[in-house]
Amino acid sequence: MTIKSYSILLGAALLMGSCGKNFLEKKRDEKLVIPKTIQDYQSLLDNTSVMNSGNAMNHLALSSADEFNASDKTFNTYKGALPYQTNAHIWEKEIYERKEGMDWNQAYHRIMIANLALEVSKLNPANAAEKLALDNTRGSALFFRAYSFYYLAQQFCQPYNAATASSDPGVPLKDDYDITVKLPRGNVAQVYDFIIKDLKEAIGLLPDKQEFVTRPGKAAAAALLAKTYLQMNNYEKVFEYAEMAMKINGTITKFRLPDMGKNPLYPSDYGKSNPEVLFHAQSIRPGLALVESNVTPEVMDLFEPGDLRKTGFFLTDIKGFVTFKGSPASGINAFTGITTTEVLLMRAEAYARLNQTDQAMADLNLLRSMRFDDTFQPLTASNATEAIKLIIRERRMELYSRGTRWEDLRRLNRDPQFASTLTRMINGAKYTLEPNSPRYTFPLPDNEIEANNYTQNPR
């Protein structure tokens, strides 16, 4: 499915003007056609090739997490062409080697377009139908802006810590499409407050669901707000917004053995045929993960007999490499949107964190019952801590290769019960990432530091 894109952007006027100079320094193209109608503004957001996909959305997080290991051959092949991926894979101090920071650039590209679309609020709707359309466009733009800042925060801000958030460096909070304006980095508290404010307003403007899941509805905005509060350890709010999203769409599909042999498991239709998708977004997976790389044995060992995801999600190729084929974005794309299963697992964790163990396990077992064959047996937990461990384990399986593992590592490392030490062997050398290492926060791109005199993240 492709929503027809409106040609309001002339050629490369807005399309990845990020190449060359630093992105926040780029001037708006003089040939930019200014939108005049609500449909013009909506069409900016309907450009799925920009707003819902890209060459990099969270490549740094995907390359760094403990979900796959690149072979020596693949690592050496990509080291020259994509150093930010190989350096992130072994947690090097320096990432970019003077090349572009694509995760950063593409996020700010979407933010720029969202900010332009927010100009729709200056129009005066002629009737009730136009008012609904204007609200939808504004709500969608707020969502896309919050979504982009969320991913920036998970990669370029330190993990949220209420005690230090007001002093920990943030990212520039662009709220205008004039990207010639220079802004300070701000702090982490300001970034999260900005995301929350945008999403709360979006919830009040958006319809429950949209015709296409490439457009965010109220359920998607509530789900992203739950994700945001999860990073802040605010479990009452996680529950509130996960519950809101599930009431709008709580569909969990039943996996069946005959379907598990499909390669890829899901069709490439932007989530149209998958009722679990609340919001569809995708990014080409890091090259390191696509050629002669292995899903980590730790991940594969999580799947029990009878769990249909093991054959539905993974495939052993003719060379013996275990590869991932279960992305809801299909093929070589990483899914970076939101599904009902992620929301269900957030609600389960919120229940457990609030010491409602029975409810937490009911949610967990609901998901598992839809992923197993007829040998399914419900899991039990005698206390909240046991339930949390089982839920975190389930997130590693169900949400594989979505970027959520990196987010989980960052937030969980502060608790010794859940902290993880990551290791990799590349070219005979052992690399280690300790819990709470400063290398869980990526450096800002070199050109952004130089152009804006930002303080670099410690590594």
Domains in the chain, CATH or no CATH each: 23-254+337-452 (1.25.40.390)
Q: What is the mean pLDDT of residues 32-38?
A: 83
118: its two tokens: 């927010």
**What does the alpha-carbon distance between residue 207 and residue 222 come to, in Å, rounded to a whole number?**
12
| H or E element, residue 423 | strand 422-426
* Model pLDDT, residue 5: 34
Q: What is the DSSP string of 206-237?
A: S-SS-SSTTS--HHHHHHHHHHHHHHTT-HHH
* Model pLDDT, residue 152: 98
Q: Could you tell me the pLDDT band of residue 17, with boundaries at 50, 70 and 90?
A: very low
SS3 18: coil
Among 145, 188, 243, 241, residue whose Cα is nearest residue 410: 188
Q: Over pLDDT 70: what percentage of the chain? A: 93
Q: Interior CA angle at 354 toward 348 and 355, to 5°? A: 90
Q: Hey, CA dihedral for 106, 111, 112, 113, is it positive or negative? A: positive
* Model pLDDT, residue 80: 86
Q: What end-to-end distance do the CA atoms of the chain give, in Å? A: 42
Name 422's Cβ contacts closer than 8 Å, sequence gap at least 6: 66, 91, 409, 432, 433
* Model pLDDT, residue 179: 74
Name 328's Cβ contacts closer than 8 Å, sequence gap at least 6: 266, 271, 274, 276, 277, 280, 335, 337, 339
* Model pLDDT, residue 406: 98
> How many CA atoms within 13 Å lie on the side-chain side of 341?
26
Among 407, 277, 261, 287, residue whose Cα is nearest residue 329: 277
Which amino acid does the sequence have at 255?
Answer: F
pLDDT digits (tens, 9 = 90+) for 240-264: 999 999 999 999 999 999 999 999 9
What is the CA 202 to chain-centroid distance, rounded? 18
**What does the alpha-carbon distance between residue 242 and residue 227 come to, in Å, rounded to a whole number?**
9
Q: What is the mean pLDDT of residues 348-370?
A: 99
Q: Could you tell me the pLDDT band of residue 22, with boundaries at 50, 70 and 90?
A: low
* Model pLDDT, residue 177: 87
Look at 127-136, 226-235, 281-290 and tell me which has the smallest mean pLDDT.
Answer: 281-290
**What does the alpha-carbon distance between residue 46 and residue 307 come to, in Å, rounded to a whole number?**
37
* Model pLDDT, residue 180: 82
**What does the alpha-carbon distance between residue 342 and residue 111 come to, in Å, rounded to a whole number?**
24
* Model pLDDT, residue 32: 56
Instruction: Tell me the average pLDDT of the chain.
Output: 93
**Residue with tokens 């419900």, as numbered in its chain:** 378
264: cis peptide before it, omega within 30°? yes
Look at 9-23, 57-71, 415-429 and tell me which has the smallest mean pLDDT.
Answer: 9-23
The answer to whether residue 282 scores a pLDDT higher than 70 is yes
CB 337 within 8 A of CB 282: yes
CB 107 within 8 A of CB 151: yes
Axis-axis angle for helices 384-398, 357-369 (nearest 10) = 30
CB 125 within 8 A of CB 131: yes
Q: What is the DSSP string of 165-213?
A: TTTSB------SS-TTS-----BHHHHHHHHHHHHHHHHHHS-SS-SST
> How many CA atoms within 13 Å lie on the side-chain side of 351?
23
Among 328, 362, 327, 358, residue whose Cα is nearest residue 345: 362
**What does the alpha-carbon distance between residue 116 and residue 262 come to, in Å, rounded to a whole number?**
41
Beta bridge partners of 429: 426
Flag whether the pTM goes above 0.75: yes
**Residue with tokens 């299909």, as numbered in its chain:** 330
CB 262 within 8 A of CB 324: no
The answer to whether residue 310 scores a pLDDT higher than 80 is yes
The answer to whether residue 98 scores a pLDDT higher than 60 is yes
